[in-house]
Amino acid sequence: MREWLGLVARLVTGGVWIWAGALKLGDSYQSVEAVRAYELLPESLVEPVGYLLPVLEVVVGVALVLGVLTRGAAVLSALLFVVFIIGIASAWARGLQIDCGCFGGGGYDPDASSQYPWEIARDSVLLLVSLYLVRWPRTRLALDSLLFRPLTPAR
């Protein structure tokens, strides 16, 4: 049962990362502006993070969906969700009214403060799912099962 639950966890979390990253890959400028809107990073890091984050999201998502290096991908996934939760909570605490930029977009959003609790809740659930995969990375239909089979002694 745990391996089937892990498969669902991989597909859901990986699918979210692929979707989020792919939407941002198509508009790198908007991704950079979304990072800038949080006002957390020095300006010298805003562009590199804005350009690299969507690529990282897609790579983590593909690794999870395929089930390759699952534990490592799940660790990166969990770390990203922690960073995003902190970023959203920080924006909320500082009274910033910005779109989270999670699925593209970013910048000023007059309804942002009403969205922050839902965004934090969503990312918290996905963080827990990622942590599940860190703890139990062996899942059904994963390439890890083919690539990292236990070696049996030759007879």
Token pair 């779109």 in the structure block, residue: 99
> pLDDT at residue 153 above 80?
no
Please indicate, yes or no, if residue 68 is contained in any of the structural domains. Answer: yes
Query: Is residue 34 exposed (0-12), middle (13-18) or buried (19+ Cβ within 10 Å)?
Result: buried
Please indicate, yes or no, if residue 124 is contained in any of the structural domains. Answer: yes
Of the candidates 83, 64, 65, 82, the one whose C-alpha atom is nearest the C-alpha of residue 73 is 64
- What's the pLDDT at 57? 98
Name the DSSP letter for residue 143.
Answer: H
User: Rounded to whole angstroms, how far apart are CA atoms 110 and 74?
Assistant: 33
Lowest mean pLDDT, pick from 37-46, 49-58, 81-90, 144-153? 144-153
Please indicate, yes or no, if residue 84 is contained in any of the structural domains. Answer: yes
Please indicate, yes or no, if residue 50 is contained in any of the structural domains. Answer: yes
The answer to whether the CB of 65 falls within 8 A of the CB of 14 is: yes
User: Rounded to whole angstroms, how far apart are CA atoms 28 and 93?
Assistant: 27
Please indicate, yes or no, if residue 149 is contained in any of the structural domains. Answer: no
Give the rounded percent of residues in the chain with a pLDDT score beyond 90.
Answer: 88
> pLDDT at residue 108 above 90?
no
Of the candidates 63, 54, 56, 69, the one whose C-alpha atom is nearest the C-alpha of residue 11 is 63
Give the mean model confidence (pLDDT) for residues 99-117. 91
Threshold 0.85, pTM exceeds = yes
Mean pLDDT for the chain?
94
Structural domains in the chain (count): 1
- Structural domain span for residue 15: 2-143
Cα 69 versus chain centre, distance: 16
Please indicate, yes or no, if residue 77 is contained in any of the structural domains. Answer: yes
Of the candidates 20, 22, 13, 102, the one whose C-alpha atom is nearest the C-alpha of residue 65 is 13
Please indicate, yes or no, if residue 28 is contained in any of the structural domains. Answer: yes
Give the mean model confidence (pLDDT) for residues 107-133. 96
Helix (H), strand (E) counts: the chain: 6, 0
Give the mean model confidence (pLDDT) for residues 92-110. 92
pLDDT confidence tier of residue 102, bands split at 50, 70 and 90: very high
- What's the pLDDT at 150? 67
